[in-house]
Amino acid sequence: MCKSQIIESLLKKTLQTVERILANSETITSPSFYLLTPSGMERLESTCMLLIAIGEGVKGVDKLTDKKLLSFYPGMDWKGVMGMRDIIAHHYFDLDAEIVYDVIKHDLPKLKDKMCYSKS
């Protein structure tokens, strides 16, 4: 697989992961949902795993394009997307359900829009 195909594949998988999180969290109306039941905690944990995958995908694209491709799509906190991965992976026990909820409800729709725009 050539470099451009790898980048395209990473972008596609990352977008699919964003869409999966958004679909899985449509009915969640409060950060407390994650904390009230064991199944809520499982949803939080699985969502965090997918957020790690999104951060990895964006980091991979950034690395493969020598930090050039993402700069063509301003208005998105790409550093924040990559940083969220690091926070979850390295500070897992300090996770805040409110922050994860906020990312899902406010940042992921923007990321989806930006990634869909980049496909066109």
Active-site positions read 85, 90
- Helix residue spans in 1-120 (DSSP H): 3-24, 33-36, 38-64, 78-90, 97-102, 108-119
94: tokens are 């300090």
92: tokens are 């897992």
Cβ neighbourhood burial of 48 (10 Å; 0-12, 13-18, 19+): buried
